[in-house]
Amino acid sequence: MTTIATETIYDTIEDVAKQLYINALTNIPQDVRKALARSKDAEVAAGNQTASKVMLTVLENVKLADEKDMMVCQDTGLPIYKCVIGTDRHIDIVEMKKRLKIGAERATKDYPLRSSSVHPITRKNTQTNTGQGLPIIKLDFVPGDGLEITMSPKGSGSENMSFLKMLLPSDGVKGIYRYVLDCVFNSGGNPCPPVILGIGLGGTSDVAAGLAKEASCFRKIGTVNPDPVIAKMEKELLDLVNQTGIGPQGLGGATTAMAVHIEWAHTHISQNPVAVNMQCWRGERATATIDVDGNVKYL
């Protein structure tokens, strides 16, 4: 059932993969901009001089990147593409993955972007921002004929502040709070706060880590977990994290996190997995949809 129309869709996917990488680095999302402005207001209102200076510099930088069409931050990150595919779409996943990789490589060569990808042992830079296992591609399937691609160039200052612990069932909610606060405390200014704090609860260890990444990188600020018990935990943890006073860049202040997002899965009777993943203040993410006729819409 191969037609010209289905072949050109892969050219479109490749172009979108390239453009999303550049968009994510140059144009930070609206929900993040609003949260940054709220953070600045909170620091000014609290009379925190250094934190206010930091947040004003952050906002000036975002504005400058808009005006000069520049990257907001120098970290090209590790490219992650999350693809949500309609089951009526009949996409060749192998071809799509190949094209996403080529798109990331074209962005790197044409912009040009710094390549941040190295071999874990030899530390040799591939100079492409891709390599074995890169880009990271996440697939999800939904009913219908849609195709939505979200790109997150995950920065390393925040990614290095990732944590996983298999707590005990008897540790309960208190144990989870204590562990998350320890993670925030140990991270200090390294993840470029105010962060989006992503938490994965339950599942197996790898599932918890994946949920934490979903929570930090792919959820919009302002969204609330639909489960009221989890939503309450998000609210309470945000309050506790900001009570630490670690603040913007770890230099002190009222806003250590802009948001706490929790995603969860059921787990084993003997397990209580908690994973923490942080997203730096730039909250980089860009999304596009490609309809059945090949029309692209950047959201």
Partner 1 sequence: MAEVHLKTPLTEADVRKLKIEDTVYIDGHVFGIRDATQIRMFDEGVRAPADMTGGVCIHTAPNVKRGANGKWEKVCIGTTTSTRMNRFYPPLMRDYGVRAMIGKGGFLQDTVDAMKEVGGVYLAIVGGAAALETMQIEEIEEVWWEDLMPECLWKFRVKAFGPLIVAIDANGNSLYKTIKDQAAEKMKAMGL
**Binding string, 114-143, against partner 1, x = CB under 8 A?**
xxx------x-x-x----------------
| Among 86, 146, 157, 294, interactor with partner 1 by CB under 8 A | 157
Q: Return the range that interacts with partner 1 (CB under 8 A); candidates 95-103, 162-170, 218-226, 280-288.
A: 280-288
Residue 17 or residue 28: which is nearer to partner 1 going by CB?
28
Residue 85 or residue 197: which is nearer to partner 1 going by CB?
197
Phi-psi group of 160: left, alpha or beta (phi > 0 → left; psi -120 to 50 → alpha; rest → beta):
alpha
Sheet holding 296-298, edge to edge: 136-142, 78-86, 147-154, 286-290, 296-298
**CA distances (Å), origin 217, targets 191, 263, 271:** 13, 12, 25
Other C-beta atoms lying within 10 Å of the C-beta of residue 61: 16
By CB under 8 A, is residue 74 in contact with partner 1?
A: yes
Number of residues that bind partner 1 (CB under 8 A): 54
> Which residues inside 173-212 make contact with partner 1, applying CB under 8 A?
174, 177-178, 181, 185, 188-190, 192
Among candidate residues 246, 217, 237, the one with its CA nearest the CA of residue 32:
217
Residue 47 or residue 226: which is nearer to partner 1 going by CB?
47
Residue 191 or residue 198: which is nearer to partner 1 going by CB?
191
Other C-beta atoms lying within 10 Å of the C-beta of residue 138: 17
By CB under 8 A, is residue 39 in contact with partner 1?
A: no
Buried b (16+ CB within 10 A) or exposed e, 11-49: ebbbbbbbbbbbbbbbbbbebbbebbeebbebbeeeebe
Binding site for partner 1 (CB under 8 A): 49-50, 53-54, 57-58, 60-62, 64-65, 68, 70-76, 111-116, 123, 125, 127, 155-157, 160, 174, 177-178, 181, 185, 188-190, 192, 240, 243-247, 249-252, 280-282
